[in-house]
Amino acid sequence: MNYQQADLATYQPVTLDELLLTLHKQGQFETAVLASGEGLPIATVPTNLETDKAAAMIAMLKRVSKEARDQFPLAEIDEFSILDSNRMRLVCRYIKAGGEELILAVIAPPDHSYRRMTNQAIKQIVEFLS
C-alpha cells in the first residue's frame, strides 16, 4: 500500500519520511517537518526544503511559545500557529514520544482543516517511536 492509497489513521509507516510524505499528500500541506525539540529537522517534505531555515523557524516558535507560557498562566502548549495575510497557516504541534520532545510543523493552505490530519500523524509518530 502506498501513501496515495493509505488512510493516515490506519497507515503503518516503515519510516518517518514515509509518514510525513503521507501526511503531506493527504493533508495537501505545502510543507511538513518533523523536528527535534531543539528544532533540528528529522524528516521534511518536500525534501528540497531549506532545512536550516525550517530549523531556525521551528526553534524560534518554540522559544516564543515558551515565553508566552512563562508570561501568562498557560498550561502546557500543544499547538502554536501563525496565520499570514494570504490565510496560509504555519502550525507547530508539540509531541512527546519515545522519551523525546518533538515538533510537527505543517504549512496549511488557506481555510484548510489541519487538526484531524495532524492528530492522526502524531498518533502514528508516537506509535512508531514507542
- Per residue in 40-49, pLDDT (tens digit) is 888 888 866 6
Would 37 be classed as within a structural domain?
yes
Cell numbers 498518533 label which residue? 123
Could you tell me the CATH number of the domain that includes residue 79? 3.30.450.30
What is the distance between the alpha carbons of residues 4 and 1, in angstroms, rounded to a whole number? 8
The pLDDT of residue 6 is above 60: no
Residue 85 lies in a domain: yes
Q: Are 127 and 25 in contact (CB under 8 A)?
A: no
Is residue 7 domain-resident? Answer: no
Is the pTM for the entire model greater than 0.75?
Answer: yes
Q: Is position 13 within any domain? A: no
Domain assignment of residue 44, yes or no: yes
- Overall number of domains in the chain: 1
Q: Residue 12 falls within a domain, yes or no? A: no
For position 72, what pLDDT does the model report?
86
Whether residue 51 lies inside any domain: the answer is yes
Question: What average pLDDT does the structure give for the chain?
Answer: 83
Domain holding 86, by residue range, is: 23-129
- pLDDT tens digits for range 105-119: 999 999 888 999 999
Is 18 a domain residue? no
Q: Using CA atoms, how far apart are residues 46 and 66, in angstroms rounded to an integer? A: 28
Residue that is written with C-alpha cell 515565553 in the block:
67
pLDDT confidence band for 66 (50 / 70 / 90): confident
